[in-house]
């Protein structure tokens, strides 16, 4: 409990220091600018990178990867990996992920693919079921990563 309070206090101090120093850098969605989506692909605050959720679509299209939950999870993770590298981070720097599933019954199948991307020291993670995801996707994953 004490370490949680210290961590939260540190995060609040780091965030307020970063914002006060004018360090808020917003990277706008650029994969498909013609779609005019109302969110940024990533936001960097200090040494943290917040990625918007990624689904298992083929880059530059709205077509979902084949192979059901396994294929979509693999593609979502590849999309995350590419975005992290684009903004100067990597899967090794991911500290937290949130996984949204269209059907929570597919958790085990998603997890089989997901864990191959974090074979050592996996990030903290939450997973939950939803009533639907963008483009009819089976999975959406968002991540927070440290910056080097």
Domain, as residue range, for 119: 24-146
Structure tokens at 81: 């990996």
Is residue 6 assigned to a domain?
no
pLDDT tens digit string along 82-134?
Answer: 999 999 999 999 999 999 999 999 999 999 999 999 999 999 999 999 999 99
Q: What pTM, to 2 d.p., does this model score?
A: 0.80
Is residue 132 assigned to a domain?
yes
Is residue 55 assigned to a domain?
yes
Taking the C-alpha atoms of residue 107 and residue 38, their distance in angstroms, rounded to an integer, is: 29
Is residue 12 assigned to a domain?
no
CATH number at residue 52: 3.30.1330.40
Is residue 52 assigned to a domain?
yes
Is residue 74 assigned to a domain?
yes
Is residue 3 assigned to a domain?
no
Q: Indicate the number of domains in the chain.
A: 1
């Amino acid at each position: 409990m004490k370490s949680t309070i210290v961590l939260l206090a540190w995060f609040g101090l780091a965030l307020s220091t970063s914002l006060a120093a004018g360090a808020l850098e917003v990277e706008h969605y650029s994969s498909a600018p013609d779609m005019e989506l109302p969110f940024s692909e990533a936001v960097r605050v200090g040494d943290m990178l917040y990625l918007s959720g990624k689904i298992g679509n083929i880059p530059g299209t709205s077509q979902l990867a084949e192979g059901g939950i396994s294929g979509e999870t693999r593609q979502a993770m590849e999309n995350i990996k590419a975005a992290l590298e684009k903004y100067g981070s990597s899967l090794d720097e991911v500290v937290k992920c949130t996984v949204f599933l269209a059907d929570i019954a597919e958790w085990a199948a998603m997890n089989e693919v997901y864990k191959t991307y974090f074979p050592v020291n996996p990030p903290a993670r939450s997973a939950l079921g939803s009533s639907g995801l963008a483009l009819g996707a089976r999975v959406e994953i968002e991540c927070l990563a440290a910056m080097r």
